[in-house]
Amino acid sequence: MLLEKAGALVGGKNAHLIIDDTAIPKKGTHSVGVTHQYCGQLGKNANYQALVSITLVPDEVLVPVALWLYLPKEWAHDPARRRRAKVPEDVVFRPKWQIALDEVERVKRSDVEFGDVLADAGYGACAAFGRELSESTLKWAVGVNSNQLVRERDQAGGRPSTGRYRRPRTANRNQVDQNRPVLGEGQGGARQVRAGLRHLCGMRKYLKLATSPSARWLLLTMRVAIPRSIRPLVTSMLTRRCYQRTFRLRPSAEINQIFLYSLAWAAAKTGVLIHAACVMSNHHHIVLTDVRGALPDFARELHRTVAKALNAAQGQWENLWSSEQYHSLELGSDEDAIDKIAYIAANPTEAGLVESPEEWPGVMLLPEGEGKTLEIQRPGKYFANSSVFPEKVTLRVVPMMGRQLSREAISRRLGAAIKRAVARAREAVIAAGGRFLGRQVVLGQSFQKRAESYEPKRGPIPQVRARNRTLLKAILARYAEFQVRYREALDAWRGGDRGVVFPFGTWAMRLVHGAVVAQGPGYG
């Protein structure tokens, strides 16, 4: 009955049958099918029930037609667990792609008309899934992961050569027919990508997936992102998170020394002024002023040095930082910078760890009077016997330069703002019935632990913070003008004009390709 109504309402040649996974996060382990696995909705491994959903979509209307609970192997093959949860005997393990295929076949038998089947990379990695759809004469398209191995139609089968001193040849990007289609309209306008179609054989991963004998078209896409303007004398807050929110930055004497040394080293190399910093167990915040317009260099030097040093100190090999790039939030005024310094000062209290910033055992740098100077001894292990890193580095925590306010006013307002922020954070924890862990518990945590709190996948992240609406509009207008002029210059560059002038603030095109960049106000 449901399929008949869905077909009558939204069925047709232009309708898509979309296969996807739906996650229901869980805290315990007793719900049927719950297990710890990767969750695309959360962007990390999590404890949840997985459901395979089938949705009929003609345009912007979505009509769900099937929703099946996925029963993992550890549930299906555990009689005691099945008995406790009263799982029927006829419910057995089926991989998600098989559940999806069975539902697609059921929809077909119900005479619901649709044009094609669409699925994400979780299904695209399965050769059998694509083969079954092809054999049923259905049109289909699936996502593929960036590490999916494919071969061209005219290449011989088999695994690529892994001989010594030799790497497998990758497809030449210039051989792909490229254009710039608009994939759709969103809140930010048209989404453009550079794309190419290439005829490739097999939906297969070497050694893991069975070979598919029929050829497929592979759509190669690359987002064309408009880079951010990198300008000198901009005050901003820099943030970066650890991979999967692990406690790799958990406070200890060694980790604190590594971060402070790396921070001082990166600041000295790039001329960045440090106003405040807080290093939590799985992320950091730094309020700084980029004097020279070298923020990308500073961030690269800091994060690379910290990652290598911590991996050496902790005996780890995997990524330290999240795959997301660092986030830089421009702070429009002195008041906005004061707000953010107060925010990072209250961060450990807001998280229910300690009652005040003075109790935090990790890195906590706050401006004091005319500033303060720290001398940090070079750590061992990664830094040992290095001719690059000096024995000692000096880190200056300097007060803000004062764009609208005097230094005295900034100091006075900052002290009051920190007190208010910490008091509010403390009251919120107590009102929620929580208790503070205390510095000893924080110091005793394993760096391999990760945050247990649920954090939904974030939406668009702001690039600027400005309380004053007029100032905010002016900064956003500057961003918009930069993007328009950058796009025009980039199109001219691609057309062969190497003399085109890129707007002031262009970073990568100037450094990597030697492009001409306009001088900013007061330069030249």
Q: Give the pLDDT confidence of 249-306 residue by residue, as tens digits.
A: 999 999 999 999 999 999 999 999 999 999 999 999 999 999 999 999 999 999 999 9
Whether the per-residue pLDDT at 138 is higher than 60: the answer is yes
334-345 helix and 407-431 helix, angle to the nearest 10 degrees:
40
Residue 164 lies in a domain: no
Q: What is the pLDDT of residues 239-251, one digit of tens each?
A: 999 988 899 999 9
Q: Within this chain, do residues 428 and 483 fall inside the same structural domain, yes or no? A: no
Q: Within this chain, do residues 213 and 242 fall inside the same structural domain, yes or no? A: no
Higher pLDDT, 229 or 155: 229
The domain of 475 spans 470-517
Q: Within this chain, do residues 441 and 477 fall inside the same structural domain, yes or no? A: no
Whether the per-residue pLDDT at 199 is higher than 80: the answer is no
Q: Within this chain, do residues 360 and 487 fall inside the same structural domain, yes or no? A: no
Q: For the domain that residue 351 is a member of, what is the CATH number?
A: 3.30.70.1290
Higher pLDDT, 513 or 385: 513
Out of 63-67, 192-196, 330-334, 356-360, which region has the weakest mean confidence (pLDDT)?
192-196
Report how far residue 301's alpha carbon sits from residue 272's, in angstroms, rounded to the nearest whole number: 12
Report how far residue 325's alpha carbon sits from residue 319's, in angstroms, rounded to the nearest whole number: 13
Residue 163 lies in a domain: no
pLDDT band at 387 (very low <50, low <70, confident <90, very high): confident
Q: Within this chain, do residues 42 and 191 fall inside the same structural domain, yes or no? A: yes
Whether the per-residue pLDDT at 316 is higher than 70: the answer is yes
Task: Look at residue 182 in the predicted model and tell me its pLDDT.
Answer: 43
Report how far residue 409's alpha carbon sits from residue 400's, in angstroms, rounded to the nearest whole number: 11
Residue 229 lies in a domain: no
Residue 39 lies in a domain: yes
Q: Within this chain, do residues 37 and 178 fall inside the same structural domain, yes or no? A: yes
Count of structural domains, the chain? 3
DSSP string computed for 94-145: --HHHHHHHHHHHHHHTT---SEEEE-HHHHT-HHHHHHHHHTT--EEE---
Higher pLDDT, 459 or 199: 459
Q: Within this chain, do residues 498 and 444 fall inside the same structural domain, yes or no? A: no
Report how far residue 34's alpha carbon sits from residue 20's, in angstroms, rounded to the nearest whole number: 18
Q: What is the pLDDT of residues 334-360, one digit of tens each?
A: 999 999 999 999 999 999 999 999 999
Residue 211 lies in a domain: yes
Residue 69 lies in a domain: yes
Residue 72 lies in a domain: yes
- Of these ranges, 136-145, 216-225, 440-449, the one predicted with the greatest mean pLDDT is 440-449
Q: Give percent above pLDDT 90 in the chain.
A: 47
Q: Within this chain, do residues 265 and 354 fall inside the same structural domain, yes or no? A: yes
Average pLDDT of the chain is 83
Q: Within this chain, do residues 397 and 434 fall inside the same structural domain, yes or no? A: yes
Q: Within this chain, do residues 505 and 479 fall inside the same structural domain, yes or no? A: yes
Q: Within this chain, do residues 448 and 300 fall inside the same structural domain, yes or no? A: yes
Domain C-terminal end among 198, 223, 248 = 223
Residue 57 lies in a domain: yes
Q: What integer is the mean pLDDT of 406-414?
A: 90
Q: Within this chain, do residues 357 and 434 fall inside the same structural domain, yes or no? A: yes
